[in-house]
């Protein structure tokens, strides 16, 4: 497992963190799920960076994303939203990245992402019920029933805190992590050479082989 940072790692961390910050702003709620939770694809970039460079680099990408977000628009939640974002991003990215760097195989990556998707959903239940929602309850002078009612409007099956957790928070995070995981599996092999700086070398080799074939003809 990598622990040292190369110069290229630092460059890629900065670039991928900036891309994550942009993706964080391209967000939207999902139908029938809590309207205060927004879907984005930042996790896709974070996990690809982790697979390519390592878990510590993945955490740095997450930190760069959050710091850029704070620098560009500040915080509207007294940093509780940013804390939750960091915790959920780490919960999703670190398990599969650590597993993958111990045994690099497609199966390991898939199993790791499946485990982390469920783990992230569980962590999200606690961060929402004990960090995010209590903060907004205090800010708005509302109780938990207000937030349950918000969710009931988009999904009548959500009627209390338990159903909010099981039918709202958990499925939202499973869907979000699942889509990010599928995207990572489809894109990683194509992006890995670029992240490692091997794309130009492979292109030169391919061009050399092509020229050699043309010479033979």
Per-residue pLDDT tens over the stretch 193-215: 989 887 544 555 545 444 544 44
Is CATH 1.10.1760.20 the classification given to domain 7-193?
yes
Domain boundaries, the chain: 7-193
pTM of the shown model: 0.87
Query: Residue 15: what pLDDT?
Result: 97
Give pLDDT, residue 5: 72
Angle, CA 2 vertex, CA 69 and CA 4 arms, to 5°:
75
């Amino acid at each position: 497992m990598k622990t040292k940072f190369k110069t290229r790692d630092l460059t890629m961390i900065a670039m991928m963190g900036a891309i994550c910050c942009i993706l964080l702003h391209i967000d939207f709620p999902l139908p029938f799920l809590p309207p205060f939770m927004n879907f984005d694809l930042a996790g896709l970039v974070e996990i690809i960076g982790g697979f390519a460079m390592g878990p510590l680099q993945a955490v740095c990408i997450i930190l760069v994303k959050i710091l850029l977000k704070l620098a560009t628009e500040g915080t509207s939640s007294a940093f509780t939203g940013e804390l939750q974002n960091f915790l959920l991003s780490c919960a999703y990215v670190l398990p599969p990245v650590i597993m993958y760097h111990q045994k690099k195989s497609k199966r390991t990556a898939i199993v790791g992402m499946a485990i982390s998707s469920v783990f992230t959903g569980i962590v999200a239940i606690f961060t929402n019920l004990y960090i995010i929602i209590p903060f907004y309850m205090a800010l708005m002078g509302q109780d938990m029933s207000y937030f349950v009612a918000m969710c009931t409007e988009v999904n009548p099956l959500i009627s209390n805190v338990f159903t909010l957790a099981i039918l709202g928070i958990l499925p939202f995070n499973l869907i979000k992590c699942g889509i990010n995981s599928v995207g990572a599996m489809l894109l990683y092999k194509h992006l890995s050479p670029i992240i490692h700086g091997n794309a130009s070398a492979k292109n030169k080799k391919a061009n050399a082989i092509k020229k050699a074939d043309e010479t033979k003809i």
